[in-house]
Structures are given as structure tokens and as C-alpha cells.
Amino acid sequence: MKKKIINILLLSTMISVAGQGGGPSGSQITGGDPSVLPKIFPSSPEAYKLGSYGNIPVSLFTGTANINIPLTEFKTSNLSLPIEMSYASNGVKIDDMNGSTGLGWNLIASGVITRTIRDLPDEDDNTNISFPSNIDELGIRHPTVMQYLQDASNDLVDSEQDMYMASFNGNNIKFLFDRRGMPVVYSQKDVKIEGQSGGNAFTITMEDGVKYYFTDKEATTNQTLGDGHSISTNNVTAWYLTKIEDPSNGEQIIIENQSANYSTILSRSQIMKYTIGPAQQSVCGGPAFYLPPVIGELIQHLQSVNGKQVKRIYSNNPIYGEIIFDYALSNGSNDFKKLTRIQKKINSTSINDINFDYTLTTNNRLFLNSINDIISKAVHSFTYNTPEEFPLRLSFARDSGGYYNGMTTNTNLIPQLPITAISYNGASQGVVPTKSQIGMLTKIVYPTKGNSEFFYENNTTTVNKIIIPAQIGGLSMGAESTDIDFGSPLQTKSETFTSIKDEEIPLGGGASFNAWKCPPEL
């Protein structure tokens, strides 16, 4: 089975060049002039992983392997909640965090609604400033439209609605709240969503009438430090599933979550400034202005998380038992605690006793070695591509997509642009296929002693690139005279040349004369 890792490099010649380490959901860049940069506040990486496991279609066409390890299940007469592990086979990025189950793995045990805040939080919108509904008719130069755009640039109005993703029990529902506060569901499902944007809780009712309650909130605080900084912002970015209810018989599955708090550098970015073209002469007679390439300090994107981890699953009817989750410090980077054990008990009898074994590399990267159910003797073991070589988080040795490329001599995040007019020490961010696959899962050995091996290849893309050939010769022709007789002013001259290929050749010409030499009638 092959996986294609997509690495796309988009470069533009501009006065300000930004280099960024990719966060889990596109972290906010705030260095330089913040008014021209997007404001996107992501949820925590752990909530993001849980909320995105169903986003990528599973097919051999995309090359994404469907790697799921069923662990156990909590069931009542009509309700069920499977517990499983899922592996994201679309590559491991430099800035990825260890999470509660190691790099690449995601525990799917309950559910979550994640929110990506776009511009301002919906609940902070200034309702006194209305969006011009007929903006296309008015045009951007209309005073009403110009005032709205000015208010939006000054953060007086929320210019874009926040996006929500609900992932639970095999369902993935994307929605937002319009400016009237009504939910708009993008998914092709007949569901009912109760709650308000940024509120305390949500309830989602499915087609079969089963209700899912999301009442445990996760709050994140985001701030940037370094070359440019932002004011600290604290917002609710996730709501965790706490109860599933079947109204037909009153049965409930209850999910108890524990607090999980940490602070970390989510990602880093950098800005380079320079002037394009020759030095600009001063109109006042002062010295010409020229700014050589200047690489700014690193911008640290900080995130503090007041999050949740599932602790216990049980029912309002005790005959169905319980599932208990145990955690321990990973001793790696600041992150959620690592999952060490899952126990399923019914009437004090252990049905499953699942233990998790990890390796923490010298670079503080956590890899899941095995999952062992002591009761059933079922063991899954995992092998990775040279995990010890995978670098520290936030390393400069990355390609344009954020994957490892082995360029350990890089000293910044600014890519080396193909611009001969400027000189600077940029980072080599080319894709190195043998390096970008480091840290990825390569083999699973199942309880039956059978195994699956995974082979990966990088994606190839076709890019239109303008190649300017070097000038190998020139041709000029013309006729000139310092004092042409008006009786015979015409002079001619011709040259013949042949192009070596079929191409468009620009020709230029010009004329000048002295007005005092012209006859009065001209």
C-alpha cells in the first residue's frame, strides 16, 4: 500500500517574505503588519486530531491507508461506543506533538466538536455594525462598504463565521452559525444542532433520535512573542462528548473527562524584508533608500490548553459495567499525558486489560511500540522508519510542507528564493523523499502473527515555471543625423537576422528631434 505525501511550494517575489512552521490547523502568523495577515485560532492539537480523523476519504486513489486498531466497546441494549486507535498515514511533520498515544496515532474513544476561530470569535461580533448585504451592487468604493471594510480591519466587526467540526461515533458533521445565530450544516445528514456559537454546550440529535451531548469545554490561550507580538486571547475551541442518550428507553452512555492542561510553543514563523530593484532616489536630495535582505527574529506562537482527556465511560444502568483510562507523564515535550492502560469491567470482572508501551527517543519524540490485551493475550506491535533520526520539534530541517528533509545546517525558516538580485542565507526547504518518510509506520504485527507492511512514495506534481534564457546577443539598427536637410530628411538602414527557434521577439523604436529646427508650419 502506498501513501503519497503532498508537498507544494508556492513562492512569490514580495517585499516581505514569511517562513513558517506548520501547526496542526494553520497557526496564526502575527509578525510584521498584523492587519494584512489572517487571524485563525486553532483548537489544541489533540482535539484537532480527534476532530479530523474522518476528514480524509479512505481510498487507494488518495494513497491514505485506513489503519485502525479496534480495542474494545461499551454497549447497552441499543447504544454502542467503540474504542479504537487510528493512525494518520499522511506523514509526520516536524511540529507534530506527541499527543496522548504517540506520533501519528489517535485514540478514538468519545467525541468532540472543534471550532476554528476565523477573524473574531462569533460571540464577540459587534452587532451594531451590519454587513452590507448588497456589497456586489454597491461596489468596494461605496462609503458604506468602505466603512465596513475599515471596521473589519480594526477588529470592530467579525468578518467571517467560525467553522465547527463534530466527530463522534463514526459521524463527521461540519457546520457553522450564520449571522442570525442559526446552524448551517454542510454534511449530508439529517441532524438537529442545538446551541449557540461559542456557547456552553451543544446537543446533536441524529436521524434515529439518539442525542449526543457536548458539555465539557476546552479553552486555549494563543499569543505570539518575538519579532512582533500579539495580545493574549483566550477562547473556547472544543466541546467534548459527555453523554449519549436514547430517548426511546432512557438508556445513557456517560463519558467522564479529566482536566489536561499544558503550555507549549505550537509553532514558529519568521519574516524577511528587503527592497526590490534599484535604490530609490529621494525627491528631497537626500541619500537613496535601499534595504538589503533582513531576516527577523523568530516569532513564537504560544498556546496554553485547558483541555480534557477521557477518564471513564459508564451507563446510568450499572449492569453494563465501565471502561477506565489511565495516563502517565510522557517525559517528552509539554503535551497531554500519555495513555498507559484501558480496563473494561463488568460486575468487577475484567473483560479487557489493555496496556500501551512506548519509546521516547533522545529527541523527545514518542512512538507507540505495542498494544497488549493481557486478558485476551492479543498483541499488536508496530515498527517505524528509523524513529531515532526524527528530529526535535520546531527543527529548521524541514521542507516546504513541514516534513523532515535532513537539512540540519538550516538556521532559519526563510526559504532560499530563486532571486539573483538579492543575497541572503536562506533555508534549503526542498523535498528529500528518503527523509520525509522518517518516523512513519512501516509494519504492524497482529495477534495472529500475521503482519502488514507499508511502503510510501512522495507525491509528484507538475508545476508551470517560467524559464528566462540568457541573452546571447543583441541587435540595434537606426538612422540618425545631427542636422538633417529639410529637403531630403529621410534616411534608411536595414539589418537581417534569423531566430534559432519559433519565438516572439519584441522590437522597439523611438524618435527625437529639436523643436527649433522645425519649419513654422509644423
Per-residue pLDDT of 205-249, as tens digits, reads 999 999 999 999 999 999 999 887 778 889 999 999 999 999 999
- Record the cell numbers describing residue 182, joined without a space: 442559526
Statement: residue 130 has pLDDT above 80: no
Residue 86 near residue 101 (C-beta atoms within 8 A): no
User: Which pLDDT value is given to residue 14?
Assistant: 33
Statement: residue 479 has pLDDT above 60: no
Residue 98 near residue 365 (C-beta atoms within 8 A): yes
Distances (CA, A) of 157 to 28, 128, 181, 182, 337: 19, 9, 15, 19, 38
Per-residue pLDDT of 410-422, as tens digits, reads 999 999 988 877 8
Query: CA-CA distance, 367 to 87, in Å (whole number)?
Result: 12
- Within a 13 Å sphere around the CA of 313, how many CA atoms are in the beta-carbon half? 26
User: Which pLDDT value is given to residue 387?
Assistant: 98
Mean pLDDT of the residues in the chain? 82
Per-residue pLDDT of 379-390, as tens digits, reads 999 999 999 999
pTM confidence score: 0.75
Q: Count CB atoms within 10 A of the CB of residue 350.
A: 12
Query: CA-CA distance, 361 to 422, in Å (whole number)?
Result: 40
Structural domain spans, the chain:
18-119+160-361
